[in-house]
């Protein structure tokens, strides 16, 4: 499933509509965020993760979504199950993000 852009306006609805969600918080100025984007897209295309919804949220413009996950650094990843936050990680390593996603099982 492709990565979907989410905003404060649709973020609560997306969390409610999807059982398992992983969110990448980014900023346009964040070089590490841009470098991680292809890896994140590759994860979203992984058939073993087909039951996970992948979202991108701009941490600068979507403050409510940012506060919901307690974003501290960028890139920052949050995993939600049934609308509830189950874990977060601030990382640039794919393994760290995959570990976070495994908490959604």
Q: What is the pLDDT along the chain (105 residues), one digit of tens a residue?
A: 799 999 999 999 999 999 999 999 999 999 999 999 999 999 999 999 999 999 999 999 999 999 999 999 999 999 999 999 999 999 999 999 999 999 998
Question: What topology is assigned to 4-102 in CATH?
Answer: Glutaredoxin (3.40.30)
Contact of 52 with 15, CB cutoff 8 Å: no
Residue carrying structure tokens 């307690």: 70
Gyration radius of the chain over CA positions = 12
Contacts 24+ apart (CB under 8 A), 30-39: 30/74, 30/75, 32/74, 32/75, 32/92, 33/74, 33/75, 35/92, 36/75, 36/92, 39/94, 39/97
CA distance 58 to 68: 13
Chain-centre distance of CA 34, in angstroms?
14
pTM: 0.95
């Amino acid at each position: 499933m492709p990565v979907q852009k989410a905003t404060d306006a649709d973020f609560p609805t997306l969390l409610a509509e999807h059982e398992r969600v992983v969110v990448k918080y980014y900023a346009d100025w964040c070089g590490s965020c841009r470098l991680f984007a292809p890896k994140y897209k590759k994860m979203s295309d992984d058939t073993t993760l087909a039951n996970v919804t992948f979202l991108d949220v701009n941490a600068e413009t979507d403050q409510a979504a940012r506060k919901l996950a307690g974003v501290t650094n960028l890139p920052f990843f949050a995993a939600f199950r049934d609308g509830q936050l189950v874990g977060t990680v601030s990382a640039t390593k794919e393994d760290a993000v995959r570990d976070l996603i495994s908490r959604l099982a």
